[in-house]
Chain A
Amino acid sequence: MQSPGALEISRRDLLVASAATVTVASTASLSHFQTSTAAASQSTKISFTVNGERRELQLDNRTTLLDALREHLHLTGTKKGCDHGQCGACTVLADGRRVNACLTLAVMHEGEDITTIEGLGQPGSLHPMQAAFVEHDGFQCGYCTPGQICSSVAMLEEIKANIPSHVTGDLLAPAEVTPAEIRERMSGNICRCGAYSNIVEAITEIAGRKA
Chain B
Amino acid sequence: MRFDTPAMTNPIDQGKVVGQRIHRIDGPLKTTGRAVYAYEWHDSNGRYVYGYIVGSAIAKGRIRSMDVSAARNAPGVLAVVTSDGIGDLKKGKYNTAKLFGGTEIQHYHQAIAVVVAETFEEARAAAALVKVDYAEEKGAFDLEAAKDTAVKPEEGEPDSAAGDFDAAFETAAVKFDQTYTTPDQSHAMMEPHASIAAWNGDELTVWTSSQMIDWWRTDLATTLGIDKEKVHIMSPFIGGGFGCKLFLRADAVLAALAAREAKRPVKVALPRPFLMNNTTHRPATIQRIRIGAERDGRITAIAHESWSGDLPGGGPEVAVQQTRLLYAGANRMTATRLATLDLPEGNAMRAPGEAPGMMALEIAIDEMAERLGRDPVDFRIINDTQVDPEKPERPFSHRNLVGCLRTGAERFGWQDRSKQPGGRREGNWLVGMGVASAFRNNLLVPSGARVRLDREGIVTVETDMTDIGTGSYTIIAQTAAEMLGVPVDKVAVSLGDSRFPVSSGSGGQFGGNCSTAGVYAACVKLREAVAQKLGFNSPDELTFSGGEVRAGDRRMPLAQAASDEALVAEDRIEFGDLDKTHQQSTFGAHFVEVGVDVATGETRIRRMLAVCGAGRILNPITARSQVIGAMTMGVGGALSEELVVDTERGFFVNHDLAAYEVPVHADIPHQEVIFLDESDPMSSPMKAKGIAELGLCGVAAAVANAIYNATGVRVRKYPITLDKLINGLPEVS
A binds B: yes
Q: Which one of A11-19, A93-101, A156-164, A168-176 contacts B? A: A11-19
Interface residues of B in 161-200 (CB under 8 A from A): 187-192
Interface residues of B in 598-614 (CB under 8 A from A): none
Q: A86 and B657: CB pair below 8 A? A: yes
Tell me whether A60 is interfacial, beta carbon within 8 Å. yes
1/0 contact string of A86-114 vs chain B (CB within 8 Å): 11010000000000000000000000000
Q: B628 and A194: CB pair below 8 A? A: yes
Tell me whether B630 is interfacial, beta carbon within 8 Å. yes
User: Which B residue sits closest to A11, measured CB to CB?
Assistant: B67
How far, in whole Å, are A76 and B39 apart by their CA atoms in the complex?
9
| Most B-side CB within 10 Å, residue of A38, A86, A118 | A86
One of B36, B65, B269 near A1 (C-beta < 8 A): B65
Tell me whether B263 is interfacial, beta carbon within 8 Å. no
Tell me whether A56 is interfacial, beta carbon within 8 Å. no
How far, in whole Å, are A192 and B119 apart by their CA atoms in the complex?
30
Q: B656 and A137: CB pair below 8 A? A: no
Q: A21 and B128: CB pair below 8 A? A: yes
Q: B658 and A86: CB pair below 8 A? A: yes
How far, in whole Å, are A77 and B191 apart by their CA atoms in the complex?
13
Tell me whether B210 is interfacial, beta carbon within 8 Å. no
In the assembled complex, the CB of B192 is this many whole angstroms from the nearest CB of chain A, namely 7
Q: A7 and B65: CB pair below 8 A? A: yes
Q: B191 and A81: CB pair below 8 A? A: yes
What residues on B are CB-neighbors of A18 within 8 Å? 54-57, 109, 132
How far, in whole Å, are A139 and B120 apart by their CA atoms in the complex?
29
Q: B73 and A142: CB pair below 8 A? A: no
What residues on B are CB-neighbors of A144 within 8 Å? 190
Q: B132 and A16: CB pair below 8 A? A: yes
How far, in whole Å, are A168 and B39 apart by their CA atoms in the complex?
40
Number of B residues whose C-beta is below 8 Å from A?
A: 95
Q: A140 and B629: CB pair below 8 A? A: yes
Q: A137 and B625: CB pair below 8 A? A: yes
Q: A24 and B131: CB pair below 8 A? A: yes
What residues on A are CB-neighbors of B272 within 8 Å? 81-84, 86-87
How far, in whole Å, are A193 and B4 apart by their CA atoms in the complex?
35
A135-B23, A137-B621 known; A10+B133 contact, CB < 8 A: yes
How far, in whole Å, are A82 and B55 apart by their CA atoms in the complex?
17
In the assembled complex, the CB of A29 is this many whole angstroms from the nearest CB of chain B, namely 11
A81-B192, A84-B657, A184-B666 known; A193+B36 contact, CB < 8 A: no
How far, in whole Å, are A87 and B529 apart by their CA atoms in the complex?
50
Q: B126 and A140: CB pair below 8 A? A: no
What residues on B are CB-neighbors of A131 within 8 Å? 31
What residues on B are CB-neighbors of A33 within 8 Å? 70, 128-129
A15-B133, A41-B75, A87-B190 known; A139+B128 contact, CB < 8 A: no
What residues on A are CB-neighbors of B658 within 8 Å? 84, 86
What residues on A are CB-neighbors of B75 within 8 Å? 37-38, 41
Q: Which one of B232-240, B475-483, B551-559, B705-713 contacts A? A: B232-240
What residues on A are CB-neighbors of B468 within 8 Å? 141
Q: A193 and B629: CB pair below 8 A? A: yes
Q: Is the interface of A mostly helix, strand, loop or mixed?
A: loop
Q: A71 and B632: CB pair below 8 A? A: no
How far, in whole Å, are A126 and B624 apart by their CA atoms in the complex?
24
One of B32, B125, B271, B633 near A122 (C-beta < 8 A): B32
Q: A67 and B32: CB pair below 8 A? A: no
Interface residues of B in 233-252 (CB under 8 A from A): 237-242
Q: A14 and B133: CB pair below 8 A? A: yes
Tell me whether A50 is interfacial, beta carbon within 8 Å. no
What residues on B are CB-neighbors of A48 within 8 Å? none
What residues on A are CB-neighbors of B122 within 8 Å? 41, 60
One of B56, B120, B132, B241 near A71 (C-beta < 8 A): B120
One of B32, B84, B238, B663 near A120 (C-beta < 8 A): B32
In the assembled complex, the CB of A33 is this many whole angstroms from the nearest CB of chain B, namely 6
Q: A20 and B31: CB pair below 8 A? A: no
Q: A15 and B131: CB pair below 8 A? A: yes
One of B57, B64, B621, B625 near A6 (C-beta < 8 A): B64
Tell me whether A65 is interfacial, beta carbon within 8 Å. no
What residues on A are CB-neighbors of B237 within 8 Å? 141-142
How far, in whole Å, are A62 and B121 apart by their CA atoms in the complex?
7
What residues on B are CB-neighbors of A17 within 8 Å? 57, 131-132
A86-B656, A137-B23 known; A76+B470 contact, CB < 8 A: no
Q: B238 and A141: CB pair below 8 A? A: yes
Q: B625 and A16: CB pair below 8 A? A: no
One of A38, A123, A126, A192 near B190 (C-beta < 8 A): A192
In the assembled complex, the CB of A182 is this many whole angstroms from the nearest CB of chain B, namely 7
Tell me whether A28 is interfacial, beta carbon within 8 Å. no
What residues on B are CB-neighbors of A3 within 8 Å? 64-65
Q: A9 and B133: CB pair below 8 A? A: yes
What residues on B are CB-neighbors of A190 within 8 Å? 190, 657, 662, 664
Tell me whether A44 is interfacial, beta carbon within 8 Å. no
Q: A197 and B62: CB pair below 8 A? A: no
One of A7, A70, A117, A120 near B133 (C-beta < 8 A): A7
Q: A121 and B32: CB pair below 8 A? A: yes
User: Which B residue sits closest to A77, measured CB to CB?
Assistant: B33
In the assembled complex, the CB of B505 is this many whole angstroms from the nearest CB of chain A, namely 15
One of A6, A183, A197 near B628 (C-beta < 8 A): A197
A116-B33, A182-B665 known; A137+B24 contact, CB < 8 A: yes
Q: B23 and A37: CB pair below 8 A? A: no
One of B190, B656, B666 near A183 (C-beta < 8 A): B666
How far, in whole Å, are A14 and B58 apart by their CA atoms in the complex?
13
Q: B189 and A192: CB pair below 8 A? A: yes
Q: A197 and B188: CB pair below 8 A? A: no
Tell me whether A63 is interfacial, beta carbon within 8 Å. yes
Q: B125 and A37: CB pair below 8 A? A: yes
Tell me whether B728 is interfacial, beta carbon within 8 Å. no
One of A2, A75, A121, A140 near B240 (C-beta < 8 A): A140
Nearest 3 A/B pairs, CB to CB = A77-B33, A194-B632, A18-B57
Chain A residues with a Cβ under 8 A of chain B: 1-3, 6-7, 9-11, 14-22, 24, 30, 33-34, 37-38, 40-41, 60, 62-63, 67, 70-71, 74-84, 86-87, 89, 116-118, 120-124, 126, 130-131, 133-135, 137, 139-146, 149, 179, 182-184, 186-201
Provide a sorted-by-A list of 14 A–B residue pairs whose CB atoms are within 8 angstroms. A1-B84, A6-B133, A16-B132, A20-B127, A67-B121, A78-B33, A84-B656, A134-B24, A142-B237, A142-B469, A194-B629, A195-B625, A196-B668, A199-B665
